Amino acid sequence: MQLDWMMYLKAFVVGGLICVVGQLLISLTRLTPARILVLFVTLGVVLGGLGLYEPLVEFAGAGATVPLTGFGNSLAKGAIKAAQEDGVIGAFTGGVTATAGGVAAAIAFGYLFSLLFRSKTK
């Protein structure tokens, strides 16, 4: 199996740039981290719904799908696909269905780590 180092580099750069934007928003604005997270997911939904996020996914792979904008893109793709198949109700259920695996994993791993580790206040 041959490694595609160029794809690794593209994923690293694109994912890193998304993180840089998040850090700049934290450092230079009064936006809370929670609002920035919502902004990123919403941006992913809008760009995915308009078909503008898919070229970035094809270019950077995991560098575009792993950040929160990629989650928003998955929500949009699921909603669009289900709306085409099931109509209006699919528009409401498709995004949740498309991302259910990721949400379930986040809940399961979050619970597991809460059992294994103790949080500390700063």
As a whole number of angstroms, the distance between CA 87 and CA 102 comes to: 24
As a whole number of angstroms, the distance between CA 85 and CA 23 comes to: 39
pTM beyond 0.85, yes or no: no
Q: Is 10 exposed, middle or buried (0-12, 13-18, 19+ CB in 10 A)?
A: middle
**24-49 per-position pLDDT tens digit:** 999 999 999 999 999 999 999 999 99
As a whole number of angstroms, the distance between CA 103 and CA 108 comes to: 9
The predicted structure's pLDDT at residue 10: 95
Tell me 37's DSSP state. H
**Taking all residues of the chain, what is their mean pLDDT, rounded to a whole number?**
93
Tell me 66's DSSP state. S
